[in-house]
Amino acid sequence: MLRFFPFVNKFDLRMGTAMLRPEDLFVDIDNHHASEIRLKSTLLEEWPDYYCQLPPSTLAAQWEVVDLIGQYLGAQFPDKFKFGREGDTAYWENAMEGRKVTWKIGSDTIDGFAPLDFMGRQLQEDLLLLDDSGILRGGQLCFPSGWDLSDKNNRHFLEIHQPLPGMMGPMLESANKLLERLVPGRPLLRLNWGFRVSDQLDLSSRHSQSYRDQLAAVSSRIDASNAGEHIYIRTERQTLHRLPQTRWILFTIHTYNGLVVDELVQPERCKTMHDFLKTVPAPLQDYKLITPFTEKLVAYLANHIGEAG
């Protein structure tokens, strides 16, 4: 089952953000950590400028991110990570990889990588930097769905997933106010939901056409008896942190995939998904690329609600 379940009993236009509490995970490490780190490494080696864009103007914010994440991981997972300073030298130790790296404080790189790029290679999360006005200025983005850095850099955070259906206007206005009010030490948490016919993590723009082809093929051969065996829930666990020095924002995204059928062991999850999907407006179904299979998935879930009853 999914570690974080993004659905409620009825679709709601509100953004659905909450305070990230001290007991909530900021960075998550799950059973897919090793394989996803390997995948990130491969993508960054083969397409470095596509998956990571960090202009010099982002350097100060990058170092704040290194401090924020390094201190968090060292405190939260002391058996896996160590981070600290000794005089004019900083160090990072990743016991999962058997690796220790040091660098001079004030340098421009860590082990030959831009600071945020280095840190991102240790994590399953994508890491994005927004300036103090909420404009996307760069980051490391390996596992997006339907977009990429080149397409969205230098655009406002709220434009990243444009064009959105018109009904989402109030939600965007509310989200913009949340960004403006974001303060250091009080990060926000949000779960974003989706359904896909693939568990491919990298669904960036260069894969858009191949995914649409796959969507058409899978949607044509599934029905109410087997939809949940072919459709994946794609959950993005997003956090937003105001950095104290630059006042920029760190936006993190951890993507989780899981087959719908695997959620049926908890009947309440089955009913929640069913009731939620029945209330998603048609324009949003189109935007989310779920229209080709929504009715079949709703029928599949209804069948299993009946079985559970």
Q: Helix or strand or coil: residue 162?
A: coil
Residue 168 pLDDT: 72
Biggest distance spanned by C-alpha atoms of the chain = 65
- Cα distances (Å, whole numbers) of residue 141 to 40, 66, 152, 179, 283: 9, 16, 11, 20, 27
Task: Convert 12-48 into a string of H (helix), E (strand) and C (coil).
Answer: CCCCCCEECCCCCCCCCCCCCHHHHHHHHHHHHHHCH
Query: 58, 138 in Cβ contact below 8 A?
Result: yes
Report the domain count for the chain: 1
**Using 50, 70 and 90 to split pLDDT, how confident is the model at 135?**
very high
Tell me the C-alpha distance between 12 and 276, whole Å. 9
Residue 166 clears pLDDT 80, i.e. is over it = no
Q: Helix or strand or coil: residue 128?
A: strand
**Using 50, 70 and 90 to split pLDDT, how confident is the model at 3?**
very high
Residue 178 pLDDT: 86
13 within some domain: no
pLDDT in tens, 186-207: 999 999 999 999 999 999 999 9
- Cα distances (Å, whole numbers) of residue 17 to 5, 100, 232: 14, 36, 23
Residue 176 pLDDT: 81
**Using 50, 70 and 90 to split pLDDT, how confident is the model at 169?**
confident
12 within some domain: no
Give the least confident one: 11-15, 95-99, 106-110, 211-215. Answer: 11-15
Query: 149, 53 in Cβ contact below 8 A?
Result: yes
Two structure tokens written together for 202: 């990298």
Average pLDDT value over all residues in the chain: 94
Q: Please name the residue that has the structure tokens 């991981």.
A: 73
86 within some domain: yes
Residue 103 clears pLDDT 80, i.e. is over it = yes
Mean pLDDT for the stretch of residues 119-135: 97
Q: Answer positive or negative: Cα dihedral of 42, 44, 47, 51.
A: positive
pLDDT in tens, 43-96: 999 999 999 999 999 999 999 999 999 999 999 999 999 999 999 999 999 999
Helices 294-308, 267-278: inter-axial angle, 10-degree rounding = 140
Residue 265 clears pLDDT 70, i.e. is over it = yes
6 within some domain: no
Give the least confident one: 52-56, 251-255, 275-279, 305-309. Answer: 305-309
2 within some domain: no
Residue 160 clears pLDDT 90, i.e. is over it = no
**Using 50, 70 and 90 to split pLDDT, how confident is the model at 9?**
very high
- Cα distances (Å, whole numbers) of residue 138 to 39, 58, 182, 185, 250: 20, 7, 19, 22, 10
239 within some domain: yes
Residue 253 pLDDT: 98
Query: 288, 194 in Cβ contact below 8 A?
Result: yes
Task: Convert 166-232 into a string of H (helix), E (strand) and C (coil).
Answer: HHHHHHHHHHHHHHHHCCCCCCEEEEECCEECCCCCCECHHHHHHHHHHHHHHHHHCCCCCHHHCCE
Mean pLDDT for the stretch of residues 153-160: 86
DSSP letters along 76-124, please? H-TTTEEEEEETTEEEEEETTTTEEEEEETT-S-BTTB-HHHHHHTT-S
pLDDT in tens, 210-227: 999 999 999 999 999 999
- 55: domain range? 18-308
Residue 167 clears pLDDT 90, i.e. is over it = no
Mean pLDDT for the stretch of residues 130-135: 95
203 within some domain: yes
pLDDT in tens, 16-39: 788 998 889 899 999 999 999 999
**Higher per-residue pLDDT: 175 or 269:** 269
Residue 308 clears pLDDT 70, i.e. is over it = no
37 within some domain: yes
Determine what percent of the chain is predicted with pLDDT higher than 90: 86
**Higher per-residue pLDDT: 25 or 301:** 301
Tell me the C-alpha distance between 49 and 80, whole Å. 29
